[in-house]
Amino acid sequence: MREVTVGIGGAAGDGLDKTGDTLAKTAARLGLYVYAYNSYQSVIRGGHIWLRVRIGERKLTSHGDHLNVLIALNQDSIERHAREVEPGGAVLYNSDRLKLDPTLLRDHVLPVPLPVSAITKPLGKVPAVMQNTVALGALLFLIGLDFETAVGVLTDTFKHKGQAVIDQNVAVLRAGYEYAKEHFVPLGYRWTFTHVRRPFITGNEAFAIGAVTAGCKFYSAYPMTPASSILHWMAAHADRCGIVVKQCEDELAVVNMAIGAGYAGVRAMCGTSGGGFALMTEAIGQAGMIEAPVVVIEVQRGGPSTGLPTKTEQGDLNQVFGASQGDYPRVIIAPGDVAECFSAVVTAFNLAEKYQLPVILMSDLLLSEHPETIEPEDLRYDVPIERGELVTEWDEAKGRYKRYAFTRSGVSPRALPGTEGAAHVAATDDHDEEGILISDVFTSPPVRRKIHEKRMRKLDAVLRELPPPVLEGPEDAEVTLIGWGSTKGVIREAVEKLAEEGIRANRLHIMYLFPFHAREVAEILRRCRKTICVEANYSGQFARYLRAETGISVDAHIRKYDGEPFEPRYIVERVKAILEGRPLSLEVTEEEAREIAYHYIRTHLDEDARPGRISRLERDGFEEPIWNVEIVSRETGRKRGRVLIGIETGSTYRWEPEESAS
Amino acid sequence: MATVIELPIETYAGPVDPDWCPGCGDFGVLKAVKMAAGKLGIRPKDLVIVSGIGCSSNLPGFIHAYGVHSLHGRAVAVAEGIKLANHELHVVVTGGDGDGYGIGVGHFIHAMRRNIDITYVVMNNQIYGLTTGQASPTTMKEVRTKSTPRGNPEPPINPIALALVSGATYVARGFSGDPEHLAQLIAGGIAHRGFALIDVFSPCVTYNKVNTYPWFKQRVYKLEEEAGYDPSDVMAALHKSFEWGDRIPIGLFYRDEHPIYEDSEPALRRGPLVRHPLRPERAVFEELIEELM
């Protein structure tokens, strides 16, 4: 398969997301597939941002393992990523401001210095951020993407800013393109453009569009990364779509308003991340108790507490399972990719209304914020809308309306406020069929038993309605990779790579977390030869749940909790190590030592410093082996000192400046 | 305006009798809420009473209307969701001082700031009754309770002043010892377009031995009977809200017309959300998809 991965590195405020978006949309309009991931930080200006845009002729389900072209917008990005560029690739940079040390490049990597001010001089004064557009123009030429298609994307992007802005952007793009054409030869990508137009969409956009398509009329939220982009989309489209979008004072209000709206009869949803969800938990139990439909999206980020606000993790499973005191019926769904975000929210609303319960959708920063191309038919207009049994009028001559009638299915036909003859109280204290409390004066153990059973019985029908997971790949595989949520795509690619290396693997991905297909999953797992659970958390929360539900302990684990998503190669290497019986090393690698040194430099030293040679020292007065990272001057190349980093603990023991350094 | 057909109080007779202690102030409030709804001719199907948790929050169970007996402190938020989903309903929140001024004070302030069209009746007994007598946010300083055996070290919240500075557009105080007067205040709040607070002195005869019926009867006077008092003057209202001693004012402190939150929601101009068709128009859906290309 032909594919290219372009990395764009810079600081927050460099505008690289726009550049990445233009590149991605250009490729998508040409009929190519795109998957992008932005590794960003919780800062508005500065820091290090690393956006990867992977483009290929076939569906891509992760950002992959490769780097073919680097667009470096600052010096850090050159130093940190130039060595990752693979032979046949190129490094583009603004040579007015940045320097590329050729020793950083692997063989057959093309340095592409762009003298931005000379290139843009004929265009008069242009904003500094347009260095990105120059680089993008040059990139289009180097990787063989169609220039006019990119012009179309820019035209649409800047339509709201007027023709002058469009013209300037196009002129700068052209200048970059022409400069590259004059000075370089293309890198040799020969694409087949199908011109099939596909949506380029994030998980959060899919949640929002899915919700609107399914009839969501109320969305409430409190700003919290990485769920906020649902709020932004909803707010921007509220008028057109006829939704009430409410930013609330806190997540307590968020979920209680959504429950109030759901009780009153509109399809209501709210979204948050782990910290906000923690505040919502009592109310989610309330929705279970009063049998009000509501959809709650929990977009995980690195935890606990404030944790890693802009990094990904799958560490909230225990919290979501444990949300609220007592037992109550609820559904937990973890879509595995962007297309499933759309379909899962449709399912969520139908289940919430048919079974009158809260439905929690679990996502994470990776799934919610990364954009990818999906098939147009993944976003259907005519989704099923099932509201369940509604009482539209009640003749009181037939007796009092029983809001919580004890039915065989456990579902009691619902009357919305405003319905003639069906007034009742929906109470969070436990209650009888009519809604009269059984908590205070009228305690009744048998009534309590029967209403509790009635509520919980609804889950039997929910489970029957949900499709059980299936094993994908060869039945007789040597190894089975088990995952849930956002790891679906990367596990799929890892399985393909394993096959290329002669290891037969299959995979089991689980989307419906609760109620759980325990019997079906146990049957599948019993047939597997070696099971490995892949999840982005420290303790293996999902593996533990699997064991609780099926009695089966997986044979091995692949876990990650550094905030960055899995990559296929990482999984492949771990699978091979597990099959060969090699233990997992938690030592700091040389690459990691360089990043730890960067961290030290950025927090304690200055812009002139950068890591140089790295060597390993055995002990050297510490109780562990040490990475000895030389720190050199960017300006002069002179050694300025060294940073000593423990290979086992990762401790930055010391910064030792050179005696001669001023 | 259509002619109001008043409904008798029996219209709202609940399925069960209240479980409050004999003599509890909340009986008077329950009666006043029913009288207010009857005065305004609100049919039970169009009335939603939302409460939190506490003795007074059991009120929805004792009145024939729609009700949500929600979580401790969350009634206002639930009520806002109901109102936004169906703004043709009359949404009345009933609860206590712990529920509204303690654990739920954030929602209380923000709902007032929004001026959303709900009515909030707080049965303020200056004590936690259901949990058998601890200090509440409105317990007076130095008062001994089970949780403050040396006397309450904290001064009380001033709900009237808080409502005035938070943007409520109808601010009143009643006394459950005078249900007729209270009913007028509540009816005025329900009829008012905007957020209405009716703080009610509703004595706890079991756990509050300080702020008793006689204590209030000796002190309360009606603002309506105060010569020259103008309830459209917010600064005058604020001034009155600090009067607490031998004389304590009840009645309407403040009322003004301001745009309500619902006016700012374009979606609501097409009628209550609950009656909108669920699916977006196909053309709108196609526009949403086109934006992604």
Question: Which three-class secondary structure string do you get for A320-358?
Answer: HHHCCCCCCCCEEECCCCHHHHHHHHHHHHHHHHHHCCE
Q: What are phi and psi of A613, to 5 degrees?
A: -65, 145
Give me the residue from B73, B80, B265 closest to A257, CB to CB: B80
Chain B hits for A199, Cβ within 8 Å? 289, 292-293
Confidence of residue A619 (pLDDT cuts 50, 70, 90): confident
CA distance A482 to chain B (A): 32
CA distance A316 to chain B (A): 24
pTM of the entire predicted model? 0.97
CB-count burial class (<10 Å; 0-12, 13-18, 19+) for B31 = middle
CA distance A290 to chain B (A): 8
Three-state DSSP at B189 gives helix
Give the nearest chain A residue to B65 (CA atoms).
A423
Q: Do A239 and B267 touch (CB under 8 A)?
A: yes
Average pLDDT, chain A: 95
Beta strand B47-51 with A652-657 is unpaired
Q: Do A264 and B276 touch (CB under 8 A)?
A: no
CA distance B9 to chain A (A): 16
Q: Which of A30-44, A141-155, A323-337, A607-621 has the weakest average pLDDT?
A: A30-44
What local confidence, expressed as pLDDT, does residue B271 receive?
97
Chain A hits for B86, Cβ within 8 Å? 264-266, 416-418
H or E segment to which residue A23 belongs: helix A16-29
| Residue A604 in this model has a pLDDT that exceeds 90 | yes
Give me the residue from A199, A249, A264 closest to B293, CB to CB: A199
CA distance A630 to chain B (A): 47
What local confidence, expressed as pLDDT, does residue A42 receive?
59
Rounded Cα gap, residues A249 and A239, in angstroms: 22
Asked whether the beta carbons of B255 and B232 are under 8 A apart, the reply is yes
CA distance B293 to chain A (A): 5
Inter-chain Cβ pairs, chain A and chain B, closer than 8 A: 207
Q: Do A215 and B278 touch (CB under 8 A)?
A: yes
Angle (deg, nearest 10), helices B234-241 and B159-166? 160
Rounded Cα gap, residues A186 and B146, in angstroms: 82
pLDDT tens per residue across span A434-466:
999 998 778 899 999 999 999 999 999 999 999
User: Topology of domain A471-580, per CATH?
Assistant: Rossmann fold (3.40.50)
To the nearest 10°, report the CA torsion of B179, B185, B187, B193: -160
What local confidence, expressed as pLDDT, does residue A662 receive?
47
What local confidence, expressed as pLDDT, does residue A45 receive?
57
Q: Do A426 and B67 touch (CB under 8 A)?
A: yes
Beta strand A652-657 with A639-646 is antiparallel
CA distance A395 to chain B (A): 13
Rounded Cα gap, residues A91 and A82, in angstroms: 7
Rounded Cα gap, residues B85 and A281, in angstroms: 22
Chain B hits for A418, Cβ within 8 Å? 45-46, 66, 86, 88-89, 274
Asked whether the beta carbons of A204 and A227 are under 8 A apart, the reply is yes
Asked whether the beta carbons of A44 and A6 are under 8 A apart, the reply is no
CA distance A339 to chain B (A): 13
In the predicted model, what is the mean pLDDT of residues A304-313? 96
Q: For an interface test with B, which of A428, A441, A444 has the most B Cβ atoms less than 10 Å from its Cβ?
A: A428
Rounded Cα gap, residues B258 and A527, in angstroms: 69
What local confidence, expressed as pLDDT, does residue A659 receive?
78
Beta strands in A147-237 (DSSP E): 200-202, 216-221
Asked whether the beta carbons of A73 and A99 are under 8 A apart, the reply is no
Q: Do A260 and B79 touch (CB under 8 A)?
A: yes
Structure tokens at A171: 């002129």
What local confidence, expressed as pLDDT, does residue A642 receive?
96
Rounded Cα gap, residues B118 and B123, in angstroms: 16
To the nearest 10°, report the CA torsion of B227, B231, B232, B236: 80
Q: Do A282 and B71 touch (CB under 8 A)?
A: yes
Give the nearest chain B residue to A238 (CA atoms).
B267
In the predicted model, what is the mean pLDDT of residues A80-85? 94
Three-state DSSP at A70 gives strand
Q: Which domains does chain B have, with CATH numbers?
A: 24-290 (3.40.50.970)
Chain A hits for B267, Cβ within 8 Å? 217, 238-239, 242-244
Backbone region of residue A188 per phi and psi (left: phi > 0; alpha: psi in -120 to 50; beta: other values): left
In the predicted model, what is the mean pLDDT of residues A396-415? 95
CA distance B248 to chain A (A): 33
Give me the residue from B78, B276, B293 closest to A197, CB to CB: B293
Q: Which CATH architecture has domain A3-183?
A: 3-Layer(aba) Sandwich (3.40)
Q: Where are the alpha helices (DSSP H) in A265-400?
A: 274-290, 317-322, 338-355, 365-369
In the predicted model, what is the mean pLDDT of residues A512-521? 98
What local confidence, expressed as pLDDT, does residue A39 receive?
86
Q: Do B84 and A28 touch (CB under 8 A)?
A: no
Q: Which of A392-401, A545-554, B4-13, B256-265 has the weakest average pLDDT?
A: A392-401
Give me the residue from B70, B86, B287 closest to A265, CB to CB: B86
In the predicted model, what is the mean pLDDT of residues A167-191? 96
Chain A hits for B16, Cβ within 8 Å? 436, 441-442
Structure tokens at A291: 């049998």
Chain A hits for B13, Cβ within 8 Å? none
Give the nearest chain B residue to A430 (CA atoms).
B69
What local confidence, expressed as pLDDT, does residue B50 receive?
98
Chain A hits for B293, Cβ within 8 Å? 25, 28-29, 197-200
In the predicted model, what is the mean pLDDT of residues A50-77? 95
Rounded Cα gap, residues A380 and A378, in angstroms: 6
In the predicted model, what is the mean pLDDT of residues A262-282? 98
Backbone region of residue B24 per phi and psi (left: phi > 0; alpha: psi in -120 to 50; beta: other values): beta
Q: Mind listing the pLDDT tens digit of every residue in chain B (293 residues)? A: 568 999 999 999 999 999 999 999 999 999 999 999 999 999 999 999 999 999 999 999 999 999 999 999 999 999 999 999 999 999 999 999 999 999 999 999 999 999 999 999 999 999 999 999 999 999 999 999 999 999 999 999 999 999 999 999 999 999 999 999 999 999 999 999 999 999 999 999 999 999 999 999 999 999 999 999 999 999 999 999 999 999 999 999 999 999 999 999 999 999 999 999 999 999 999 999 999 99
CATH number for the A200-378 domain, one of 3.40.50.970, 3.30.160.270, 3.40.50.300, 1.10.10.60? Answer: 3.40.50.970
In the predicted model, what is the mean pLDDT of residues A626-643? 94
C-alpha angle with apex B81: B78 to B87, nearest 5 degrees? Answer: 125
Name the residue with tokens 């956006």.
A51
Rounded Cα gap, residues A3 and B263, in angstroms: 52
Rounded Cα gap, residues A442 and A429, in angstroms: 12
Q: Which residues make Cβ contacts (< 8 Å) with residue A433, sequence separation at least 6?
A: A402, A403, A404, A405, A406, A412, A451
Most confident of A74-83, A117-126, B156-165: B156-165
Q: Do A217 and B273 touch (CB under 8 A)?
A: yes
What local confidence, expressed as pLDDT, does residue A40 receive?
75
CA distance B12 to chain A (A): 10
Q: For an interface test with B, which of A25, A241, A266, A383 has the most B Cβ atoms less than 10 Å from its Cβ?
A: A266
Q: Do A385 and B289 touch (CB under 8 A)?
A: no
Among A575, A648, A396, CA closest to B11 = A396
Q: Which amino acid is at A55?
A: I
Q: What percent of chain A has pLDDT over 90?
A: 91
Chain A hits for B95, Cβ within 8 Å? none
pLDDT tens per residue across span A195-251:
999 999 999 999 999 999 999 999 999 999 999 999 999 999 999 999 999 999 999
Rounded Cα gap, residues A414 and A103, in angstroms: 71
Confidence of residue A179 (pLDDT cuts 50, 70, 90): very high
DSSP codes, B123-184: EE-SSBTTTTSB--TTPPTT--BTTBTT---SPPP-HHHHHHHHT-SEEEEEETT-HHHHHH
Angle (deg, nearest 10), helices A445-465 and A338-355? 140
Give me the residue from B15, B48, B81 closest to A434, CB to CB: B15
Rounded Cα gap, residues A490 and A558, in angstroms: 13
Q: Do B86 and A264 touch (CB under 8 A)?
A: yes
Q: Do B89 and A418 touch (CB under 8 A)?
A: yes
| Residue A661 in this model has a pLDDT that exceeds 60 | no
Give me the residue from A267, A417, A427 closest to B86, CB to CB: A417
Alpha-carbon separation of residue B199 from A67, B32, B188 (angstroms): 66, 13, 13
CA distance A41 to chain B (A): 25
In the predicted model, what is the mean pLDDT of residues A184-195? 96
Q: Which amino acid is at A30?
A: L
To the nearest 10°, report the CA torsion of B43, B47, B53, B57: -40
In the predicted model, what is the mean pLDDT of residues A417-424? 97
Confidence of residue A302 (pLDDT cuts 50, 70, 90): very high
Q: Where are the alpha helices (DSSP H) in B45-152?
A: 75-85, 97, 105-114
What local confidence, expressed as pLDDT, does residue A362 receive?
98
Rounded Cα gap, residues B53 and B72, in angstroms: 4
Asked whether the beta carbons of A482 and A332 are under 8 A apart, the reply is no
Angle (deg, nearest 10), helices A163-183 and A131-143? 50
Beta strands in A523-576 (DSSP E): 531-535, 556-559
Give me the residue from A237, A418, A434 closest to B86, CB to CB: A418
Q: Do A266 and B273 touch (CB under 8 A)?
A: yes
